[in-house]
Structure 1
Amino acid sequence: MTFIQLIDCQTDRFEEMDRLMDQWVEQTKGKRTATHAVVGKDRSNTSHVVEIVEFPSYEDAMRNSQLPETDRIFREMVALCDEMPTFTDLDVVRDARLNTDSVRRFFDVLTTAEDLSPMAGLVEEHYHDHDPANEQDVIGLDHLRREMDVWRGGFDFSFRIEDQFAQDDRVCTRWSWEGTHKGDFLGIPATGKKVAMTGTTIFRFGDTGKIVEGWWQYDRLGLMAQLGALEPTEL
């Protein structure tokens, strides 16, 4: 179970404490078990500092605390604080990664919904889509729906999410796609062929929590070859 430790302290020597944290990160390379650390400063009291450190488990946190580098840096940190820091130990019982969940919902709607009206809850009206297969970027939610309806009309398809990574306001998804060519697609009549491809999509989220921009990379040329739409090349 993921474990989080909150370290709450009062100090007017934040710059020195920040340098201490840099030292700890450098000196514990290859040994520390912490996976994520965030330091926050209270907007209403700039001497109030909270550090949030994440570990894969409580046991990993204990191993981390036993490192000699951790012990030394902690003693030096205490010396920079106005009083003894307080610790809060938390077992994570819910971890809702909201942007990645929204992206999964996007692909689910695209695959299974009767129509694309649910996209309004996921994508901003002024959405900007970048697809190298298109001569021009797609601007606006309505245009995105029409673009996606071209795919939905041409194939019965499904996505499988292989990997997802989130950083700041962006979510990167590596996916696999399989479909059956059931209708006209870019002027190609239905062939009944089963086709597949892989790709990667990066979505950027806006302040409202909706997707505002997207970048797609996928093998459309390979897809067209599977559909028999490309002339064989001569050697």
Structure 2
Amino acid sequence: MTFVQLIDCRTNRLDEMNRLLDSWVEQTKGRRTATHAMVAKDRSDASHLIEIVEFPSYEEAMRNSNLPETDRIFQEMVALCDEMPVFTDLDVVRDEQLNLLAARSFFAAMGTMEPDRIGGHVTDDYVDHDPSYPKPVRGVDAVREQYTEWLASFDFGFRVDDQMAQDDRVCTRWTWVGRHKGDFMGIAATGQDVTMEGTTWQRFRDGRICEGWWTYDRAGLMEQLGVLGD
């Protein structure tokens, strides 16, 4: 179970605190078990800081605490604080990256939803970067038309293989599985079962996708349809 430690302290020496934390990161490189650290400042009280440190488990957090560098940095931290820091140990019981879930919902719906519903996933000013098109596709109407063309050519669905999220962006590695049922780039329906792997970066705004960058093996798809060969 993921474990989070909150360190609540007061100090007017934020620059020195940041340098101290940089020093700890450098000194414990290759041995620390913390996976994510964040320092936040109270908007109503600039001297009130909270550090949030994430670990894979409580046991890993304790192993990190036992590093000699961690103990030394802690003593120096106390010296920078106006009072003794307060530690709160938390077992994470729910952790959802909402943009990641929205991206997964988008790929789950692709191939089965009606074209008119795509506006529920993307913004009106959505911009789509696809190397198969000479310039970016702009606007929800244009991407709806693009989606309709794929629906006319294939029965298809996406399998999400891997995902990661950072700030307002989500990266999804996927496998596309389809059956060629209609004209595609001048190729008459073959009934062929085809697959294609790819990766998509998506940028989110207010819970919907506002920009996407696609990379996929279109040449491999054409080969499966009998267009490219040795």
1:211 partner letter: I
What pairs up with 1:64-213 in 2 under 5 angstroms?
64-113=64-113, 115-206=114-205, 208-213=206-211
How far apart, CA to CA, are the structure 2 residues paired with 1:73 and 1:18? 12
- The reply to whether residue 219 of structure 1 matches residue 217 of structure 2 is yes
The CA deviation at 1:188 is: 1.7
Residue in 2 aligned with 1:27? 27
With normalisation by structure 1, the TM-score equals 0.94
Higher mean C-alpha displacement, 185-194 vs 21-30 = 185-194
2:131/2:215 contact within 8 Å kept: yes
Residue ranges of structure 2 left out of the alignment (5+ in a row): none
How far apart, CA to CA, are the structure 2 residues paired with 1:102 and 1:182? 29
Q: What's the secondary structure of 2:110's corresponding residue?
A: helix
The CA deviation at 1:120 is: 2.3
The CA deviation at 1:54 is: 0.3
1:184 partner letter: D
The CA deviation at 1:117 is: 3.5
How far apart, CA to CA, are the structure 2 residues paired with 1:191 and 1:174? 27
2:108/2:159 contact within 8 Å kept: no
Q: What's the secondary structure of 1:192's corresponding residue?
A: coil
The CA deviation at 1:37 is: 0.4
1:213 partner letter: E
2:212 partner letter: G
The CA deviation at 1:124 is: 0.5
The CA deviation at 1:123 is: 1.0
With normalisation by structure 2, the TM-score equals 0.96
Residue ranges of structure 1 left out of the alignment (5+ in a row): none
The CA deviation at 1:23 is: 0.7
1:33/1:55 contact within 8 Å kept: yes
The CA deviation at 1:3 is: 0.5
The CA deviation at 1:157 is: 1.5
How far apart, CA to CA, are the structure 1 residues paired with 2:91 and 2:119? 35
2:137 partner letter: V
The CA deviation at 1:128 is: 0.4
The root-mean-square deviation of aligned C-alpha atoms, in Å, is: 1.3
How far apart, CA to CA, are the structure 2 residues paired with 1:78 and 1:144? 55
- The reply to whether residue 4 of structure 1 matches residue 4 of structure 2 is yes
How far apart, CA to CA, are the structure 1 residues paired with 2:20 and 2:136? 47
Higher mean C-alpha displacement, 63-72 vs 116-125 = 116-125
